[in-house]
C-alpha cells in the first residue's frame, strides 16, 4: 500500500478516536483492473481503472455505525468522519457492539498463501488481446454455423487492502486474479436462441487453462441446449452439475448464519450435533490453501483464519456466527463467512454419476427461484438434460424443482469426483434421490 493511503488510514483512525469514538476499525482498498471484451473479431469494450475506498466502523458511546467513502482527500474525509460520528451519537445504544477480542485476531502465522502473481504488471495489453482472440476463435470453430454471437472476456485485477483496528489488529494483503470467460448464443429451429457460457479464474496467470478450452466449452454447452423442452412433472433423481451446485449450498448456509439464528428465521435452529444431511454431506472450509480464490489469513472482522468443518458426515458441527451475533446470542464466535468451501469429492465423473440412473434430470443451470431460510422451503427454475438408461437423451428447460432443505440433503446419494476448480467453493457434482420436478 502506498504510504499516502496508509497515512490516511492511520489519520482517519486517530481522528475518530480523538473525536469521541471509543473504538474504530478502518479498511482501505485499492484495486487496479482491466477488462477486455471481444466479439466479431474485434475489441468491443475496454475498461481500465483504479478503484479506491475507505471504510470505517465507529463505536461511539455504545453506539455503532459503518461507513464508506471513495473521496480520499483529507479535508473531505475529515468532514465525512465528523458527520458520521455525529450521526452515530443519535442512534440507540447496542450493548453487543464492540471490536473482537484481540486474542482471536489474525493474521494466521507461518503460512504463505501466494495470492499475488508477480508477473501482473508485466502483462501487456497485447497479451490480453491474444487471450480473448484465442477464446473467441475456439468458440467460433466449435460452434460452427449455428453460432449467432460469441464473445470472449478477460478481466484481470490487482488489489491491495489494509485493515487496522484500534484494539490492535493490523492486516494487509495483496492479491491478483485473472478471469477468462466466453458466452455463446446459438440458433435453433424453433426461433429460440439458447445461450451458455464458460469461465475460468485463478490467482496466477499460469493457473488459467488453455484459452481455447474456455471458448470450446461455451460453444459446446450452447449447442447442447438446442431443441430443449420441458419434461413432465414428476419426482425423479436430481443430478446437479458441479458448477451449479453453489446455488443449493448457498441456500443451505443461509439458515446457518448467526443473523438468521438470532432473528429466529432458521429452519436449523438448535441442531448442532444432529444429522441434517446424508453421511455424504461434509462441508469443510479451508482458508489456507495456497493460490486458491477464497484463501485468506484473516476474515472481514480480522479474525484468525483456520480450517474447520461446518458439517461432517451429515451432522451439523457448527454455525456461521460472526463476532456481533455471537455476543447477541451469548455463544462462541465461529466466524461468519466461508472462504474455500469444500465438499469432499468422491471418485465418479459426472458421466459415471449418471450411468446407473434409469431416469433422472441432470441440472446444469439454475434460473431464479428462491429459498425460505425460516422454513427451508425452496423452489428454483432449472435447465439441463433428461437422463435415460444412464445417458443424456435430450436437453430440458422451463422446469422447476421444489422441496425443503430439511429433507433434500438427507437424500444426497452420491458425490462426484469433479470439484469445480474455478471458484472459491470447490463443489463436486451431486446426486439426490426423489426430487419434485414440475414441467408439463
What is the footprint of another protein within residues 52-71 (CB under 8 A)? 52-53, 63-71
Residues within window 70-129 making contact with another protein, judged by CB under 8 A: 70-73, 76, 80, 83-84, 87-88, 90-94, 97
- The minimum distance between CB 349 and another protein, in angstroms, equals 27
Phi, psi for residue 290 in degrees, rounded to 5: -55, 140
- The minimum distance between CB 233 and another protein, in angstroms, equals 4
For another protein, which residue of 10, 14, 48, 389 counts as binding (CB under 8 A)? 48
For another protein, which residue of 335, 373, 384, 419 counts as binding (CB under 8 A)? 373
- Let me know how many helices (H) and strands (E) the chain has, helices first: 9, 17
- Residue 214's H or E segment, with its range, is helix 211-224
- Other beta carbons within 10 angstroms of residue 47's beta carbon come to 10
**CA dist., res. 342 & res. 313, Å (int):** 13
Tell the residue number behind the cell numbers 430439511, with chain if given. 406
Among the candidate windows 205-213, 270-278, 286-294, 396-404, which touches another protein by CB under 8 A?
A: 396-404
**CA dist., res. 98 & res. 64, Å (int):** 9
Phi, psi for residue 416 in degrees, rounded to 5: -75, 165
Residues within window 28-47 making contact with another protein, judged by CB under 8 A: 39, 42-47
Among the candidate windows 14-22, 130-138, 212-220, 363-371, which touches another protein by CB under 8 A?
A: 363-371
- Residue 155 touches another protein, criterion: CB under 8 A: no
Q: Is the peptide bond before 206 cis (omega within 30 degrees of 0)?
A: no
- The minimum distance between CB 385 and another protein, in angstroms, equals 14
DSSP letter for 49, please. E
Residues within window 185-224 making contact with another protein, judged by CB under 8 A: 185, 191-195
Residues within window 273-332 making contact with another protein, judged by CB under 8 A: none
- The minimum distance between CB 242 and another protein, in angstroms, equals 20
- Whichever of 426 and 432 has its CB closer to another protein, that residue is 432
H runs (alpha helix) in 144-199: none
Residues within window 334-353 making contact with another protein, judged by CB under 8 A: none
Residue 123 CA: distances (Å) to CA of 34, 71, 126, 152: 11, 29, 8, 18
Cell triple for 188: 435453433
- Residue 417's H or E segment, with its range, is none
- The minimum distance between CB 148 and another protein, in angstroms, equals 5
CA R_g for the chain: 24
**CA dist., res. 87 & res. 80, Å (int):** 10
Among the candidate windows 136-144, 158-166, 345-353, 376-384, which touches another protein by CB under 8 A?
A: 376-384
Distance in angstroms between the alpha carbons of the first and the last residue of the chain:
58
- The minimum distance between CB 293 and another protein, in angstroms, equals 17
- Whichever of 86 and 306 has its CB closer to another protein, that residue is 86
Residue 43 CA: distances (Å) to CA of 72, 157, 214, 231, 438: 33, 19, 18, 40, 42
Among the candidate windows 273-281, 299-307, 399-407, 424-432, which touches another protein by CB under 8 A?
A: 399-407
- Whichever of 349 and 438 has its CB closer to another protein, that residue is 438
- Whichever of 235 and 347 has its CB closer to another protein, that residue is 235
- The minimum distance between CB 88 and another protein, in angstroms, equals 7
Amino acid at each position: 500500500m502506498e504510504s499516502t493511503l496508509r497515512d490516511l488510514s492511520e489519520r482517519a483512525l486517530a481522528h475518530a478516536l480523538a473525536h469521541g469514538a471509543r473504538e474504530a476499525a478502518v479498511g482501505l482498498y485499492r484495486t487496479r483492473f482491466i477488462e477486455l471484451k471481444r466479439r466479431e473479431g474485434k475489441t468491443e469494450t475496454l475498461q481500465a481503472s483504479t478503484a479506491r475506498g475507505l471504510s470505517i466502523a465507529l463505536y461511539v458511546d455504545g453506539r455503532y455505525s459503518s461507513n464508506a467513502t471513495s473521496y480520499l482527500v483529507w479535508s473531505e474525509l475529515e468532514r465525512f468522519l465528523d458527520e458520521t460520528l455525529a450521526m452515530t451519537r443519535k442512534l440507540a445504544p447496542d450493548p453487543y457492539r464492540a471490536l473482537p477480542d484481540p486474542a482471536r485476531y489474525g493474521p494466521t502465522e507461518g503460512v504463505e498463501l501466494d495470492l499475488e502473481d508477480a508477473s501482473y504488471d508485466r502483462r501487456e495489453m497485447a497479451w490480453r488481446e491474444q487471450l480473448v482472440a484465442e477464446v473467441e476463435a475456439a468458440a467460433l470453430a466449435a460452434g460452427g454455423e449455428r453460432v449467432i454471437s460469441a464473445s470472449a472476456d478477460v478481466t484481470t485485477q490487482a488489489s491491495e487492502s489494509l485493515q487496522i483496528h484500534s484494539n490492535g489488529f493490523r492486516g494487509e494483503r495483496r492479491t491478483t486474479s485473472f478471469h477468462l470467460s466466453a458466452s455463446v448464443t446459438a440458433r435453433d429451429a424453433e426461433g429460440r436462441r439458447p445461450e451458455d457460457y464458460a469461465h475460468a479464474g485463478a490467482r496466477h496467470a499460469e493457473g488459467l487453462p488453455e484459452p481455447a478450452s474456455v471458448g470450446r466449452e461455451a460453444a459446446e454447452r450452447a449447442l447442447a441446449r438446442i431443441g430443449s423442452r420441458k419434461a413432465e412433472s414428476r419426482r425423479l433423481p436430481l443430478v446437479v452439475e458441479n458448477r451449479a451446485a453453489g446455488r443449493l449450498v448457498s441456500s443451505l448456509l443461509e439458515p446457518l448464519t448467526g443473523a438468521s439464528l438470532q432473528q429466529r428465521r432458521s429452519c436449523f435452529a438448535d441442531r448442532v450435533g444432529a444429522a441434517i444431511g446424508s453421511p455424504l454431506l461434509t462441508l469443510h472450509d479451508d482458508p489456507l490453501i495456497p493460490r486458491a480464490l477464497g484463501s485468506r489469513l484473516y476474515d472481514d472482522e480480522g479474525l484468525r483464519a483456520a480450517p474447520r468443518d461446518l458439517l461432517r458426515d451429515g451432522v451439523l458441527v457448527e454455525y456461521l456466527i460472526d463476532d456481533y451475533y455471537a455476543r447477541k446470542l451469548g455463544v462462541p464466535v465461529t466466524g461468519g463467512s466461508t472462504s474455500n468451501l469444500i465438499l469432499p469429492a468422491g471418485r465418479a465423473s459426472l458421466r459415471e454419476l449418471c450411468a446407473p440412473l434409469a431416469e433422472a434430470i441432470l441440472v446444469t443451470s439454475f434460473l431464479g427461484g428462491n429459498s425460505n431460510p425460516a422454513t427451508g422451503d425452496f423452489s428454483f427454475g432449472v435447465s439441463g438434460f433428461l437422463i435415460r438408461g444412464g445417458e443424456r437423451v435430450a436437453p430440458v428447460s422451463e422446469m422447476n424443482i421444489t422441496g425443503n432443505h430439511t429433507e433434500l440433503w438427507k437424500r444426497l446419494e452420491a458425490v462426484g469426483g469433479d470439484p469445480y476448480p474455478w471458484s472459491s467453493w470447490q463443489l463436486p457434482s451431486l446426486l439426490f434421490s426423489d426430487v419434485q420436478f414440475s414441467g408439463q
